[in-house]
Structure 1
Amino acid sequence: MTDNASVPTVRDVIDALDRRYPREWAESWDRVGMVLGDFDHPVRRVLCVVDCVPETAEEAISVGADLIVAHHPLLLKPVSSIAPDTYKGRVIHRLIRSDVALYVAHTNADVANPGVSDALAARLGLRDLRPLIPSSDDGRGLGRIGVLDPPMDLSELTGFVASRLPATAAGVRSAGDPSLVVRTLAVCGGAGDTFLADAARAGVDAYLCADLRHHPASEHVAGEGPALIDVAHWATERPWLDDVAAWLRGEFGFDVVVSDLDTDPWTLFRKKEPLP
Structure 2
Amino acid sequence: MTDKKIPTLHDVVTAFHEIFPPALAENWDASGLVLGRKDAPVPTVGFAVDATVKTAAEAAERGAGLLITHHPLLLRGASFLPDTDYKGEITHTLIEARCGLLGAHTNVDSAPHGTNEAFMDMLGISEREVLADDQSVEVNGSQVQVGIGRVGQLPLPMTLKELAEKIADFLPATAAGLRVAGRADTQVQKVALCTGAGDSLFKEALKSGADVYITADLRHHPASELRENALIAGGPALIDCSHFASEWLWMDGAAQLLTERLADRGFTISTYISDLNTDPWDFTVSTGQISGSASTR
- TM bucket (normalised to shorter chain) is over 0.9
1:188 corresponds, among 189, 194, 203, to 194
2:208 corresponds, among 202, 210, 216, to 202
Mapping of 1:1-276 within 5 angstroms?
6-137=5-136, 138-224=144-230, 225-252=235-262, 253-272=268-287
Distance in 1 separating the partners of 2:75 and 2:176: 25
Aligned-residue offset at 1:222: 0.9
**Contact in 2 for aligned 1:124/1:164 (Cα 8 Å):** no
Q: Give the secondary structure class of the aligned counterpart of 1:223.
A: helix
**Contact in 2 for aligned 1:50/1:71 (Cα 8 Å):** yes
Distance in 1 separating the partners of 2:3 and 2:35: 25
What code does the residue aligned with 2:200 have? T
Distance in 2 separating the partners of 1:141 and 1:29: 15
Alignment length, in residue pairs? 272
Q: Give the secondary structure class of the aligned counterpart of 1:216.
A: helix
Distance in 2 separating the partners of 1:162 and 1:78: 34
Q: Give the secondary structure class of the aligned counterpart of 1:8.
A: coil
What code does the residue aligned with 1:216 have? P
Structure 2: 5+ residue runs without aligned partners?
A: 137-143, 263-267, 290-297
Q: Give the secondary structure class of the aligned counterpart of 1:69.
A: strand
Distance in 1 separating the partners of 2:276 and 2:120: 21
Structure 1: 5+ residue runs without aligned partners?
A: none
Q: Give the secondary structure class of the aligned counterpart of 1:166.
A: coil
Distance in 2 separating the partners of 1:268 and 1:213: 19
What code does the residue aligned with 2:277 have? D
Distance in 2 separating the partners of 1:133 and 1:273: 37
Distance in 2 separating the partners of 1:261 and 1:121: 23
Distance in 2 separating the partners of 1:36 and 1:84: 16
Distance in 2 separating the partners of 1:118 and 1:3: 36
1 or 2 for the larger relative contact order (CA 8 Å, sep ≥6)? 2
Q: TM-score, normalised by structure 1?
A: 0.94
**Contact in 2 for aligned 1:162/1:172 (Cα 8 Å):** yes
Aligned-residue offset at 1:150: 2.0
**Contact in 1 for aligned 2:60/2:93 (Cα 8 Å):** no
Distance in 1 separating the partners of 2:51 and 2:39: 22
Distance in 1 separating the partners of 2:114 and 2:161: 28
Distance in 2 separating the partners of 1:249 and 1:24: 22
Q: Give the secondary structure class of the aligned counterpart of 1:127.
A: coil
**Contact in 1 for aligned 2:212/2:239 (Cα 8 Å):** yes
Q: Give the secondary structure class of the aligned counterpart of 2:71.
A: coil
Q: Give the secondary structure class of the aligned counterpart of 2:249.
A: helix
Q: TM-score, normalised by structure 2?
A: 0.88
Deviation readout 1:35-81 (Å, 9 max, x if unpaired) = 00111111111100100100101111122211101110001123211
Q: Give the secondary structure class of the aligned counterpart of 1:81.
A: coil
Aligned-residue offset at 1:243: 1.4
